[in-house]
């Protein structure tokens, strides 16, 4: 009789079974955090008695911090904590920040005395302690975003098959699109459900519901902990970058050897890279072997001084990052256009928002039209356009990442042109109807006039944002996955800061001499149309800049490989 029993094979970790938990974590976090943004300008103006420009700038700074912090989170994830622990800590921090914000609505002493700033100029300003509590809640939520936003998408990709598998590439490409669509659906819920709750049930419930959703986000993520593939952090990417820059500078006067003498270059054992590329050739000095005995540690293949001596892999990582930065910068203007939420909200608030005699759309919910446009495009692109084009062509077909980024830049420019034209019409109608001195009354002009600009902004994001994500993930080395995702967030951070600078500059210049600012609290006395025209001009300049950057970069590696596989090169 055998004493051995069949032991069931241990299920490998990762795979598609983990994806719903990861998406649930990100989606619920997005519903919670994005549900706070649309109406926040009204919360700051009505409850804290801040002016439009002052409140908008606070939101721009908050958004900037929320988008800058993920770079620090990516650094921690790749170098020290790993992606699982980084997401876990980020989820907890986000929950704590929302709890603090909830307290500002629940404790009357946390806000100035009630007063309507639209009807009186004698409202009491918030105290230092009250503003400190409010800003602290924003800061803690930004810290939470540092953990979840740069790592969630890449952590999901970690659960799938290896990236160098052709089938895996198709799965990942679809995963990126549908992941972004699921996040967009979450924002859609935030712009409808959460905004409706805030408008009809007040700030206490309106902030309490997102706090509960953030708790569920963390709960579902921790629930699947035993199932995850948890890759350990390998090295400090940023320290490696610094090693390359310092080593290249120290050896700046050292002559470069011939490229065919591979023994003069330092590369990792077993590496496919034995020669550095010619791009950004001045960095190649960082991996030159000048004196093998002194630069390589005895009985080891490791460099004795990494500040003087780096591997080809390290050099190529730095090159890859530097090469994508110009194209990355073209997405900043697209994000600036997409973050102009405070102004359309006040526009919608002054227009006729009735759909039926008894129902009208909340002004903060108009952003959902951008999300609808994004979701519809993703669904059509991946489920209709790609399969149909591939069937007609007889081989896999899709728009390249750079092509989609460029289309997004163009649509962003078009969105600002339409915004300026619609605002000029709206302001003219409002003045004719006699609302110049009371911008809070609803004019007869339908707020549905704002829908085309929202659709264009949504399409611009659908093209540019998903194109950026695919571009970074494909062009940067595997070890820089979190950095690749953080680049997108970093661009949005720069966009928020730049938007704040543009707004402050416009407000200061146009209000000089006692004149009404273009971005006045009373939008009929202001000139939002001129502000939109300014953004349109900047977007057009950015479009020209994109063409130059795209031409300099040349064909993306992922697109070139696809063309070779499809037989388009060499035919």
Say if CB 382 and CB 412 are below 8 A apart.
Answer: no
Mean pLDDT by 10 residues, the chain (571 residues): 51 75 88 88 87 84 85 80 90 94 92 76 85 94 87 80 56 68 79 87 92 94 89 74 86 72 65 73 81 54 67 84 90 88 81 80 82 83 81 76 91 93 87 59 78 91 85 77 71 86 87 77 81 93 94 68 37 30
CA distance 409 to 392: 28
Distances (CA, A) of 516 to 109, 120, 357, 442, 511: 34, 18, 35, 21, 5
Q: Which residue has the tokens 């439009």?
A: 52
| Cα(66)–Cα(137) distance, integer angstroms | 12
- Tell me how far apart the alpha carbons of residues 370 and 469 are, in angstroms, rounded to a whole number: 19
For residues 85 and 81, what is the distance between their CA atoms, to the nearest angstrom?
A: 6
**b/e code 508-530 from CB counts within 10 Å (16+ = b):** eebbeeeeebbbbbbbbbbbbbe
Helices 195-223, 83-106: inter-axial angle, 10-degree rounding? 150
Measured in whole angstroms, the distance separating CA 380 from the mean position of its chain's CA atoms is 22
The DSSP 8-state label assigned to residue 168 in this structure reads H
Other C-beta atoms lying within 10 Å of the C-beta of residue 274? 11
Domains recognised in the chain with CATH numbers:
12-178+186-234 (1.20.1250.20), 237-317 (no CATH)
3-class SS of residue 437: coil
**Rounded distance, CA 218 to CA 502, Å?**
37
Q: How far apart are the first and last CA of the chain?
A: 67
Compute the half-sphere exposure of residue 292: CA atoms within 13 Å on the CB side of its CA: 8
In angstroms, the CA 436 to CA 522 distance is 8
The Cα–Cα gap between 60 and 491 comes to 13
User: In this structure, are residues 160 and 179 in contact, taking their beta carbons and an 8 Å threshold?
Assistant: no
User: Whats the size of the chain, residue-wise?
Assistant: 571
Q: With contact defined as beta carbons under 8 Å apart, do 317 and 237 qualify?
A: yes
CA of 488: how far to CAs of 166, 466, 468, 509, in Å?
25, 10, 7, 31
Quick one: which of 534, 341, 456 has its CA closest to 542? 534
In the numeric block, the tokens 């598609």 are attached to 16
Give residue 408's Cα distance to chain centre.
14
Closest CA to 497 of 105, 59, 39: 59
Which residue spans within 496-545 are E strands per DSSP?
none
What pLDDT was estimated at residue 378?
A: 80
Q: Collect all residues with Cβ–Cβ distance below 8 Å to 503 and sequence separation of at least 6.
A: 53, 56, 57, 60, 519
């Amino acid at each position: 009789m055998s004493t051995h029993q069949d032991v069931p094979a241990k299920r490998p970790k990762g795979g598609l079974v983990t994806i719903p938990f990861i998406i649930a974590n990100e989606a619920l976090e997005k519903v919670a955090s994005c549900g706070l943004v649309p109406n926040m300008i009204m919360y700051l103006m009505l409850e804290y008695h801040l002016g439009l420009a002052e409140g908008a700038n606070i939101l721009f700074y908050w958004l900037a911090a929320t988008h800058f912090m993920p770079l620090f989170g990516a650094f921690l994830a790749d170098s020290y904590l790993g992606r699982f622990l980084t997401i876990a800590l980020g989820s907890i921090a986000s929950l704590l920040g929302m709890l603090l914000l909830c307290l500002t609505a629940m404790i009357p002493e946390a806000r100035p005395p009630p007063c309507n700033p639209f009807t009186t100029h004698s409202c009491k300003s918030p105290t230092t302690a009250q503003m400190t509590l409010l800003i602290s809640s924003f800061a803690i939520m930004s810290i939470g975003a540092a953990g979840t936003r740069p790592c969630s998408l890449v952590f999901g990709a970690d659960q799938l098959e290896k990236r160098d598998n052709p089938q895996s590439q198709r799965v990942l490409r679809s995963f990126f699109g549908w992941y972004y669509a699921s996040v967009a659906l979450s924002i859609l819920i935030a712009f409808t459900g959460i905004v409706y709750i805030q408008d009809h049930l007040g700030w206490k419930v309106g902030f309490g519901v997102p706090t509960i959703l953030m708790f569920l986000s963390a709960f579902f993520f921790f629930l699947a902990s035993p199932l995850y593939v948890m890759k350990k952090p390998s090295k400090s990417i940023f320290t490696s970058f610094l090693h390359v820059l310092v080593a290249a500078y120290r050896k700046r006067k050292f002559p470069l050897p011939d490229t065919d003498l591979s023994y003069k270059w330092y590369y990792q054992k077993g590496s496919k890279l034995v020669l550095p590329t010619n791009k950004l050739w001045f960095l190649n000095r960082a991996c030159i072997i000048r004196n093998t005995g002194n630069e390589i540690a005895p009985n080891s293949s490791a460099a004795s001084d990494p500040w003087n001596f780096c591997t080809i892999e390290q050099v190529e990582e730095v090159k890859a990052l530097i090469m994508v930065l110009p194209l990355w910068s073209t997405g900043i203007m697209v994000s600036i256009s997409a973050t102009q939420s405070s102004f359309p909200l006040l526009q919608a608030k002054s227009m006729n928002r009735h759909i039926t005699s008894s129902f009208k759309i909340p002004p903060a919910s108009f952003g959902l039209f951008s999300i609808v446009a994004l979701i519809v495009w993703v669904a059509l692109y991946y489920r209709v356009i790609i399969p149909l084009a591939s069937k007609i062509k007889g081989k896999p077909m899709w728009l390249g990442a750079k092509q989609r980024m460029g289309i997004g830049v163009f649509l962003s420019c078009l969105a600002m042109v339409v915004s300026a034209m619609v605002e000029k019409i709206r302001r003219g109608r409002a003045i004719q109807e006699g609302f110049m001195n009371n911008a809070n009354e609803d004019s007869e002009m339908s707020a549905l006039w704002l829908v085309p600009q929202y659709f264009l902004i949504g399409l611009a994001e659908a093209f540019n944002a998903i194109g950026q994500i695919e571009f970074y993930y494909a062009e940067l080395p595997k070890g820089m996955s979190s950095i690749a995702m953080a680049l997108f967030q970093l661009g949005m951070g720069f966009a928020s800061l730049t938007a704040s600078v543009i707004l402050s500059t416009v407000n200061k210049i146009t209000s000089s001499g006692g004149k009404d600012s273009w971005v006045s609290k009373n939008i009929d006395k202001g000139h939002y149309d001129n502000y939109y025209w300014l953004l349109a001009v900047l977007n057009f300049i950015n479009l020209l800049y994109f063409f130059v950057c795209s031409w300099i970069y040349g064909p993306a590696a992922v697109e070139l490989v696809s063309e070779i596989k499809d037989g388009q090169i060499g035919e």
